[in-house]
Structure 1
């Protein structure tokens, strides 16, 4: 099982509403990715957002910068909002990162949890599902063929167009990020694409039917089970002491939940929700190395994971706290998990 970190590039917001500069946060992110590579984590993913509280609107630019200061870690989006993007340009951008990084780039396509990119790029929210399905099919075809002809509803027709540059080995690694809909996982399974499940609420065990749907769709479509890959993305943060870590992170995490929740009609986030989330049956992996390793191993046993992604910057913890969390993940948690799985 691969172990890595996902981020959205959250910006710190002070009590009086002052927002950290994107320039400062981007510099910090590059330092953090460099440390992830040094401590031996397997992959890094960065999300795409078009909001004042996030620093990253173009994941591929951040990944290209990270490629120049890292050697081994895989570098991907988490996610690229495919519904409002041009699949041709998206493939070209990530193929370029793949060439710069000597084959370490990954593209994770998703529909995104925010809608700002739709009006920004002239897309109609009424076409939310249709846009994603059509563009995903086109992206898969581009990855398979250098020269393509294609006609759809939402993009100008392609007639014997050569799509360049090509990824290393003419094969860009692609994932699909999904939430909680059976249709999404079945679509990915039919295409034979690896799936990343975002488990950001409730009891993870409730996701078991979706994992089963995905595996069945993958098998029914005739794809090789030796290439089957599935992962989970869960909110996480690590420290040297469990209680001290939880107490530090709660106000940071709760503030971000409330900022998002305000626009979605959620009630204020409570400490009880947080503490349940940190429990054995909850969706949060926040605490010390032993607790985190135990819960990650449990996720592996529950779902048969090939990848675990710790979403570590929710609410924008302080940079030095992020660096320590990364160190603990790579130097303690990863070692415990790998030792347990290699028995």
Structure 2
């Protein structure tokens, strides 16, 4: 039996470099992201997700604005985030932005919400990290109600309540909502409790170590009497013509990005050996179309996924190189994955 799977792409709008090795201005990076999404649409990619950040190394801080531009340039690709940092936003405004995008795109909006793995937005928008858990728990609860109910009544500690409130524009058709989860059992159960879709962020180690989380999801669905929803995975990677070329292009950018984040967070220095370990045995999908397709198909089978999204930017990889990677993913990787899963 053929395993049905959707294949998407994610980007944070990583600030790239020009021919001289200098950082490209963020305004140009944003325009480049639109062009990458257009190529993704033309080559058969199912979904494009833009990650929200508030830093100098990632250009995207207002994903829905860019998604609106992409909607006007594309016809079929579904449009979402990776992730919307719901903890530091207002759920009503998030709903309004996405219901507007959903209307303008003909029902193609598909947000992925989460806490985010970076904390800059907390101070920027006046939130206290001490409220980290409460903020997300309450705001996700309200957002889930807004997506499912025409009139919403809600109360909590983190904002004023709503009573029999209609929020405009309403959804004219259902809108899928995913929750990005980094590997906490409590987060998996929360997704089921809110009857939303689970997106596992697997950015390191053997992806098979997440099998228990998928099993937990399925047990929670059964115990709570919910309907099983699609389960997806977000992982980094890079596609080029050959394995050697993909590694040569990806390693310097990987070293730059993870080296900086590691210094901020007190991690051990990034090494070429650790990079290659992730490529060969872990959750970094770097290589030729054949190599990446085989690895994606293996992960899809192991976790029984309905969606796999590749974060195709990891650090300052030049725009032209990213464009070629997006093209190869759509034209080569996606058909190969589907052939493998169908047994052809």
**Normalised TM-score (structure 2):** 0.95
1:191 and 1:271 map into 2 onto residues whose CA distance is 41
- 8 A contact 1:19–1:53 mirrored in 2: no
Question: What corresponds to 2:319 in structure 1?
Answer: 319
Alignment counterpart, residue 205 of structure 1, candidates 202, 208, 213 = 208
Aligned counterpart, 2:54: 50
Superposed CA deviations along residues 278-297 of structure 1, whole A, max 9, x for unmatched, are 11x31111000111111011
In the alignment, the residues of structure 1 paired with residue 245 and residue 58 of structure 2 have an alpha-carbon distance, to the nearest angstrom, of 26
Deviation at 1:337, TM superposition (A): 1.0
Would you say the 8 A contact 1:39–1:331 is kept in 2? yes
Structure 1: unaligned runs, 5 residues or longer: none
Within 2, Cα distance between the matches of 1:258 and 1:97? 36
Q: Distance in 2 between matches of 1:157 and 1:215?
A: 33
Q: Secondary structure at the match of 2:178?
A: strand
CA RMSD of aligned residues (A): 1.5
Q: TM-score scaled to structure 1, two decimals? A: 0.96
- Take 1:102 and 1:89, find their aligned partners in 2: how far apart are those partners? 20
Between the aligned partners of 1:314 and 1:110, the Cα distance in structure 2 is 20
1:63-82 superposed matches below 5 A: 63-82=67-86
Structure 1 residue runs of 4 or more that deviate by more than 4 Å after TM superposition = 13-18
What's the counterpart of residue 272 of structure 1? 273
1:146-161 aligned within 5 A:
146-161=150-165
Task: Please list every run of 5 or more consecutive structure 2 residues that lacks an aligned counterpart in the other structure.
Answer: none
Contact 2:249/2:317 (<8 A) preserved: no
Q: Are the counterparts in 2 of residues 103 and 167 from structure 1 also a CA contact under 8 Å?
A: no
Whether the aligned pair in 2 keeps the contact of 1:80 and 1:110 (CA below 8 Å) is yes
CA distance in 1, matches of 2:261, 2:99: 33
Select between 43-52 and 147-156 the one with higher mean Cα deviation: 147-156
Residue 15 of structure 1, CA deviation: 12
1:45-100 CA-to-partner distances (Å, cap 9, x unmatched) read 00000111111111111111100000000000110001001000000000000011
Distance 1:212 1:156 in 2: 37
CA contact (8 A) 2:16 2:319 kept: no
| 2:231 paired residue number | 230
Once the 2 structures are TM-superposed, how far is the Cα of residue 19 of structure 1 from its aligned partner?
3.4
Q: Which deviations, in whole Å up to 9, do the C-alpha atoms of 1:215-241 show, x marking residues without a partner?
A: 21122211223xx21011111100001
2:265 counterpart of 1:261: no
